[in-house]
Structure 1
Amino acid sequence: MDIAYIHKGLITGWRSACEQVAAEKAYLGLVSLPPFDPERALPNRMIARNWPMYCALDEGRVVGWVDIIPNEVPECAHRGTLGMGLLASHRGRGLGSRLLEAALGHAPESGLTKVELAVYTSNVSAISLFLKFGFTEAGMWRDYRRLDGVTYDALLMERFLV
């Protein structure tokens, strides 16, 4: 398994991985994604600005990703929001740790000094991973999402990089 910085050749695979994780309805904010335009996809902006975005690859196939998107408000540009996902078939193999290590190592190059995230409280393995990487609890959004009759709370986490 390899960890690689996003590039144009990975965008379609990244999108496929996002669709698969979203379809699980348990980890991402969206359960289906908007129409796909490879030229306008998020990775293009990440590449152009050298923002942290890495993919986990299994024999060249994207099986996971992580991104840290800096806040575009100038006074808040020191803060970035982390998002990530792994295909179910590749969880529990240490790829989440490797992805986080790459993105957090890259983040200061983008001027980031703080990384923030929201994770569903039901996602115990992700919370454990974030705690392992030095994230701390910063708050809670109760009744964050309602889907299929289930209410989800989101734990807010943060990590200062300096």
Structure 2
Amino acid sequence: ASEIMLLIPSILLMMLLAAYLPERSLWIVGVVIGVTSWAGWCRGFRSRTLSILSSDFISMATLSGASKVSIILRDIVPIIIPYILAAFAMLFSNSIMAEVGLTLIGVGMTKDVTLGLMLYIAQLYANISQGIWWTVIPPAIIITMIFLSLYSIATSIDELVRSW
């Protein structure tokens, strides 16, 4: 299933789903973004988990008689959690960018006020060409700060994990 999801360009699928849904609320757009962005992260988690499972310490734990639940909770979960946290930070950042992009092209949320909607309205009324920069610059700065903050968190967690 993840291979099929990876073959379809996610932004195209998001645009199609969002355009054909009658109501584009926060929950609907969130589900659309979630449905289209899970495959790559799941493949990464699966790959990391399989590499842990092939480790010698897992074989030793199995040979010593540890149960599967014990091996999962004691040996696999502590190793995989930092990767999940780093991936979650990046996924959250990518989801915000996807929402902004969808709303900016007119197929995102229309009921809730978001940073993407603020930029869409500014684009719709050509505020930059009219010299009304304060409707564009603050949302763009906030989006940039959120993205850079989440990216810094993800890379810090990744560096911390790699140093172990």
TM-score scaled by structure 2?
0.24
Work out which structure has the larger RCO, using CA pairs closer than 8 Å and 6 or more positions apart in sequence.
2
Based on CA coordinates, which of the two structures has the bigger radius of gyration?
A: 2
